[in-house]
Amino acid sequence: SSGINITRLGPSRSILLRIEEGTRLVALEDLADAVSFPTDYRTGEVEFSLPSGLETGRRYTMTLEASDNRDRRAGASLEFVLAGGAGDRLRIDRVYNVPNPIDGDTTFLIEMSQPAEVRIRIYTLGGKLIREIRPGGFLSPGEASSTGVYWDGHDEDGDRLANGVYFYRLDLRGEAGQSTHRIERLAVIR
């Protein structure tokens, strides 16, 4: 009811756009000059373009903060993944297994840029391969991040793993033959 403050007399008296990737600040922009008041001083609109340099397929959090003329600050946040064209390279944005640590089975969830064949190999700390998982066929990014790849927690001989830390290597092979990989770790605690 007191109006939107765009005087720019300090950080609390402006409209700030902040974009983060995880905990890393990617962009911080003062949008006071981009505000228009189409109906009255209590309702404003902001029109802006995303900053250049954001990578497609990455998950970002965008926060818009503003103050009213009584110096009360409010904000709203939105998570988004920047979409790109079909020519994007194959990328692993994030991979993790749930639960971790495990006491039995687990599911690997993969955030990737395009459909791919998936192979996960589990290794001891000494580098010995103890299990290879191939779900077969191409997984879509949606399937890989929501359903994931299930593993029963057993080695190639059908034995349960001993307590400890293990490494896993995720390999992706795209439809056009491109490939990428990521190495992560998991723990077994019973």
Residue 141 CB coordination number (10 Å)? 17
91 burial class (0-12, 13-18, 19+ CB within 10 angstroms)? buried
Euclidean distance between CA atoms 92 and 111, whole angstroms: 6
3-state class (DSSP) for residue 32: helix
**Its pTM surpasses 0.85:** no
- Mean pLDDT across the chain, nearest whole number? 86
Supply the pLDDT for residue 50.
Answer: 83
Q: How confident is the model at residue 181 (pLDDT cuts 50, 70, 90)?
A: very high
Euclidean distance between CA atoms 140 and 157, whole angstroms: 30
> For 83-101, how does the pLDDT look when each residue is reduced to its tens digit (9 = 90+)?
665 456 888 989 999 999 9
- Most confident range (mean pLDDT) of 43-57, 60-74, 154-168 is 154-168
* Size of the chain, expressed as the number of residues it contains: 190
